[in-house]
Structure formats: structure tokens, C-alpha cells
A and B are shown apart, each in its own frame.
Chain A
Amino acid sequence: MKLTELFFESLTTLTLNKTRTTLAILGIVIGIGSVIALMSLGQATQQSIQNQIESLGSNLLTVQPGSIQGGGGVRGQPGSRTTLTNDDAKALSSSTEITTINLVSPEYSTRSQIVSPQGNSNTQVIGATPAYFDVHKIALSDGALITQTDVDSLKKVAVVGPTVVTNLFPDGSNPIGKTIKIQNQNLTIIGITQAKGGSGFNNQDDIVYVPLTTAQKQLFGVSHLSSIALEAKNANLMFAAQDEVGYFLLARHKITDPTKADFSIMSQQDMINTITSTTTTFTTLLAGVAAISLLVGGIGIMNIMLVTVTERTREIGLRKALGAKKKVITTQFLIESVILTFTGGIIGIIFGIVTSFVISKITSSLFVVSPTSVMLAFLVSTAIGIIFGWYPAKKAADLQPIEALRYE
């Protein structure tokens, strides 16, 4: 008997038992659907985090005080040490030994209370030089950026992010030219940056930029830097730049043993890798949970098929009496279970994609469906049909025709 014929016969049998067929399929739909939805959610999260990191600037290296090497002990919060200085930054930008770096942006960053006549907020304050805005790809929407003259002359000016504007000037008036207070010092707002997105602690729009020297001397009374951001000349030079800058600073700090370095250099790729590995674990975990529901769906298929075999014992006996060989019976029941799981797989994929689309709309996050996960879902649903259909099919094929014919 040809495979196509067995296929249509199985299809007819399944349509005769609509309720049972639907319920069996439903188990697989939920299983495959949740795997697809959760995987695409995980991937969307990963993608959006990656996008956000990349928007911080390209070919970016960050030098921070303190070492990430050196085993054991409590590691101080980055920025709590004072080993990086303005002179380090100056040396980096003026040295002829450094050939891989385009831009050097010395930064001092802290949180502080900002006060305006209309309100106040606790905001990140960054002491920056003009290089900062190039390195971190920050564009202006109104007014002017901090200039080298502002830095040299310790000017009390500030560039603010759009979130700061809404927090401090809720009446919607143009804040340029207005005065805000940081650490009891009056600063004049000279510019507003463009919205960049981000949320929570990583809100890149809730920042006040002031000239680096103003931050260090006038506002916070420090002389060290919290980080130096560097832009490599191109992406291929990232590793070379990391080495070059590392050895340069070791020499400057008179440290011979690299494991005792009093600074660390992180590339943007390092950050992406760290976060990607975290989100990958998370995605795998989610998919694992969904896989359990798929397993339950598979067991449901097995259960239904076993009931079907018992219920159709006489029919199986008849088929064997009329000349059906074991292989034909096995194939017929396997086809039935694969039709169930494959149909469930297709509906599940659609269901999963729609679900993740709706979720991405509601949370206004990215919508990512990888073809790999869809292909995988097809394969897995078919495999489940074969694996969980095997035992019932074999049970049917092994029935003795006389026993089966006698069965009431």
C-alpha cells in the first residue's frame, strides 16, 4: 500500500474523530508555541541590549580604575579608586607611541541632586570634554555642546538630556539660558541632547554634562577620573588598541606585573559578550521550561494513540486478516501521530510568532523570530510524532489477528 494512500486514510480517520484530534493537537500547539514565543522573546531582549550597547559608540574601549584581574578579595566599585588622572588622558592623546587610538575622552561621573526653580532630581552628572560627544555618538537637538574653551576656563555651563528637561522644567519652557544648581553652584544650560533611549539605571537621556574641569574642581573637588573612553581607529584594531593602551598605562604607572594593574580596559565587545552570555542562559532557561510543556504534549499524543489502538483493535485485526503486514500497520499509526504533531507544530509556530509579535507591540520592544527556531520547531514536532507514536504503533502491529478479531 502506497504511502500517500496511507496518508489519506490516516487523515480520514483523524477527521472522523474531531474532538480527540483537536485536543491531541492542542497539547503540541501549546508546547511548540511557547518554545517559539519564549525563544523569540529572549532573542529580542538580547538584540535590544546589544543595540543599546552599540549605540554607546563604536570601536569603544573603556579604561577604568581598579583591576578586574587579581583573584580573591573584595573588588571596589569601579570609580571608587583614584588611580586614573587627567595626566593619563593627556599622555594617551599626545603620545606618539599610541597609534591605534583616534579619540580620548577623560570622564568624571557621579550622581548628584540637581535643582531648578521648578523642581529637582537625582541625576547622573558627567564631567566631559568635547571628545566625549564624538566617542559616545551624542548629538545635539538644541543649543551648543561643551567646547575646549569651556573646559580650559572651568566654565559653569551644562548640557542636559531630554529626561532632565522634563524633570526640571515640567512647564515645557525652553531651558536654554536658564540656571540650574548642582552642589550649590549655579550652571547655565547651553544645550539639549537628542533622545537616545534606554531605561532605568541605564537611561542615557537622564544625564547632565558639564565641562570636566568644572566637575572636578568646582563641583565635586576631586582630581581623578572615573574612566577614560577611547575610540580605536577601526574595529580590527580593537585588540591591538587594548594591548597598546594597557602597556602604555602600565609603564606610566610604573607597574611591571600586568596582573597587578591598577586599571582595567574593557572593550565594547567584552560588554556585549558578558551580557550576551547572560541573556543566552536566560533564553535557554525559558526554552527549557517551554520544552517541558512540549514533552507533556508528546505524552498526550502517546496517550491518545494508545487509546486509539485499543479502540480500533477489531479494525486492526480485520486489516491484518485481509493481508496487512506489520510494517503497513506500524506506518499507518506512525503517520497518524506525525500528522497530529506536525499540524500542532505548524499551528504552534504561528501561535508563537503571533504571541511574540503582540508582546513586542505591548512592551514596544524588538520583534525577532529566527528561522532556526522555526526550522527546529518543525523538526522537533515531527520527531515527537515518531518518538511518541512508536510505542502505540508497535503495539498495534504486534496484535495477533485472531485476538484482535475476537476483541469486543
Chain B
Amino acid sequence: MQNFPIIKIKNLSKIYKTEVLETIALSNVSFEVQKGEFVAIMGPSGSGKSTLMHIIGALDKPTSGEYFLDGQNVSKLDDDQLADIRNQKIGFIFQSYNLLPRTTTVKNVMLPMAYAGIDYQEREKRALEYLKIVGLGDHLHHTTNQLSGGQQQRVAIARALSMHPSILLADEPTGNIASKQADEIMAIFQKLNQEGNTIIMITHEPDIAQKSKRIIIIRDGQIVSDQPNRQEKI
């Protein structure tokens, strides 16, 4: 199992075209991610790391090249099939949490399961379970606007875990969170990784990247460095 590539990206390019301008966001990017890895993708703004994350997250399609997720060629799917991929295989954690406002934490965690057609009891059971795992067992029926940033991000993590996805995809997960709470969030990620979850995290903060096991650095749409993180901080 250790060597099964959960993500395989080959010669991936993304070019944005406007009438006057052609911007190359990604150019010929290739890499693989194995099951159980914890990868940080780093790079300055405009480097193409967000574009890469959108393609990995099946939110956007590449201009050319191929992307296999769990053995399935995602670059060939239509909108509704992509929606299924996002629902089943990817657990999103966004910088700005993106929870439903004025909705309870439980309801938020249940949302992706609702789109998957899982029945209500099962949804509620799983939601409670994962909220406990992220340490929010006693905030089940708070609405999201009553929670701190760190707490909201934990709800988002519980939501991402609820569908047992192939990968957890985190986009600057600590970007909006005070440093003490950020450390707690990172501790949760490390624990989840130890339990076997594959995590891909986009960040521009070296401190945060240091907590992963492998760091890919992107600049001008190309991978300039891809190395195991030897000084991993636990």
C-alpha cells in the first residue's frame, strides 16, 4: 500500500487567456503523492500554487496534461462528475473556513454527507464523531458565528473528514488564525496524518510548512524544489 500513488500529475499546464494577455499559471508540472504523505506546497503569491490546488481539488480543469486521483483520470470529467469527485475524494479546508453562516456546527459537518445522499441518522452520527475528534464535542449546537477562528477551522476539518476522503486539501489553513490556535490546528493535522490520512497543504509560511513531511516549492508555474522535510517539527 505504501507505494500506491494517490495523486499522479503528468505534464500539467494551465494557461489563462484573455483577449490581450496569455498568462501561464502552471507549466509542465509533474509529481506524485503516495498514500499517507503530508505534503506542503509552498511558493510566493502568483507562483501558481493556488491554481495547482484548484486543479488537485477538482475545482478547475487543466489546459493540458493529466491528473489521476486514486487511479481515475480527473482531467477528462464533466462538471457533475467533478462534483462527485469533490464530494467523495477530497476534503477541503479553506483559509476562510467557509462554513455556512448562522448554521450549527453539526449541520455544517453534515452538509457534504447530505450531498452524497447519506441518510440523516448516519450523517448526524458521523458529524458528532468527527466533531469530538477535532475537540469540539461540547460546541455541537453553537452556530458558526459564535465560534473563534480556530474553532471554526476545526469544524471545517471535521467536515472534510466526514466523507472519508482520499486526500485532505488545505489552503492556507492557519492563514486567518492566531498563532497559538494555529499550532493546535497543525497538531490536529499531524495527528490525522499519523493515523494514515493523506494531506496536501498550501502555505506561504515556512514555519507551517516545516510541520509537514515533504515540501514542494513552486515558482513561476514550475516546481523548483521537491524534497522530504528532514527537520520535521512535531
Residues of A within 8 A of B (CB): 1, 5, 16, 314-315, 317-328, 400-402, 405
A322 CA to B163 CA, complexed, in Å = 10
Q: Is the CB of A323 within 8 A of B112?
A: yes
Q: Is the CB of B100 within 8 A of A323?
A: no
Q: Is the CB of B100 within 8 A of A318?
A: yes
Q: Does B24 make an interface contact (CB < 8 A)?
A: no
Q: Does B88 make an interface contact (CB < 8 A)?
A: yes
Please give, as numbers and ranges, the residues of chain A lying within 8 Å of B102 by CB-CB distance. 16
Please give, as numbers and ranges, the residues of chain A lying within 8 Å of B116 by CB-CB distance. 323
Q: Is the CB of A321 within 8 A of B92?
A: yes
A393 CA to B197 CA, complexed, in Å = 37
Please give, as numbers and ranges, the residues of chain B lying within 8 Å of A323 by CB-CB distance. 83-84, 86-88, 112, 115-116, 163
Q: Does B38 make an interface contact (CB < 8 A)?
A: no
A281 CA to B229 CA, complexed, in Å = 85
Q: Does B11 make an interface contact (CB < 8 A)?
A: no
Segment of B54-62, B69-77, B198-206, B211-219 in the binding face: B54-62
Residues of B within 8 A of A (CB): 54, 57, 59-60, 79-80, 83-84, 86-88, 92, 94, 98, 100-102, 111-112, 114-117, 120, 159, 163
Q: Is the CB of A324 within 8 A of B94?
A: no
Q: Which 5 A-B pairs have the closest CB atoms?
A: A323-B87, A323-B115, A322-B112, A318-B98, A325-B83
Please give, as numbers and ranges, the residues of chain B lying within 8 Å of A327 by CB-CB distance. 80
Q: Is the CB of B59 within 8 A of A322?
A: no
* Interchain nearest-CB distance for B101 vs A (Å): 8
Instruction: For B163, give the chain A residue with the smallest CB separation.
Output: A323
A361 CA to B120 CA, complexed, in Å = 53
Contact partner, B59, options A16, A315, A324, A401, Cβ 8 Å:
A401
Contact partner, B115, options A317, A324, A400, Cβ 8 Å:
A324
A324 CA to B115 CA, complexed, in Å = 6
Please give, as numbers and ranges, the residues of chain B lying within 8 Å of A318 by CB-CB distance. 98, 100
Please give, as numbers and ranges, the residues of chain B lying within 8 Å of A322 by CB-CB distance. 86-87, 92, 111-112, 115, 159
* Interchain nearest-CB distance for B90 vs A (Å): 9
| Other A-B pairs, 5, CB within 8 Å; known A323-B112, A327-B80 | A321-B59, A321-B98, A323-B83, A325-B84, A326-B83
Please give, as numbers and ranges, the residues of chain A lying within 8 Å of B111 by CB-CB distance. 319, 322
Q: Is the CB of B98 within 8 A of A314?
A: yes
Q: With contacts A319-B111, A401-B59 known, is A326 near B80, CB below 8 A?
A: yes
A405 CA to B98 CA, complexed, in Å = 8
B92, B100, B101, B163 pick with most chain A CB within 10 angstroms: B100
A402 CA to B50 CA, complexed, in Å = 10
A323 CA to B59 CA, complexed, in Å = 10
A319 CA to B100 CA, complexed, in Å = 9
* Interchain nearest-CB distance for A28 vs B (Å): 25
* Between-chain CB contacts (< 8 Å), 5 pairs: A1-B115, A317-B98, A321-B59, A400-B60, A402-B59
* Interchain nearest-CB distance for A9 vs B (Å): 9
A373 CA to B102 CA, complexed, in Å = 40
Please give, as numbers and ranges, the residues of chain A lying within 8 Å of B54 by CB-CB distance. 402
Q: Is the CB of B117 within 8 A of A1?
A: yes
Q: Is the CB of B115 within 8 A of A328?
A: yes
Instruction: For A16, give the chain B residue with the smallest CB separation.
Output: B102
* Interchain nearest-CB distance for A8 vs B (Å): 11
* Interchain nearest-CB distance for B191 vs A (Å): 23
Please give, as numbers and ranges, the residues of chain B lying within 8 Å of A402 by CB-CB distance. 54, 59-60
Please give, as numbers and ranges, the residues of chain B lying within 8 Å of A324 by CB-CB distance. 83, 115
Please give, as numbers and ranges, the residues of chain A lying within 8 Å of B114 by CB-CB distance. 1, 5
B115, B116, B117 pick with most chain A CB within 10 angstroms: B115
Please give, as numbers and ranges, the residues of chain B lying within 8 Å of A320 by CB-CB distance. 83, 86
Instruction: For A315, give the chain B residue with the smallest CB separation.
Output: B100
Please give, as numbers and ranges, the residues of chain A lying within 8 Å of B83 by CB-CB distance. 320, 323-326
A321 CA to B89 CA, complexed, in Å = 12
Instruction: For A320, give the chain B residue with the smallest CB separation.
Output: B83
Please give, as numbers and ranges, the residues of chain A lying within 8 Å of B86 by CB-CB distance. 320-323, 401
* Interchain nearest-CB distance for B37 vs A (Å): 22
Please give, as numbers and ranges, the residues of chain B lying within 8 Å of A16 by CB-CB distance. 102
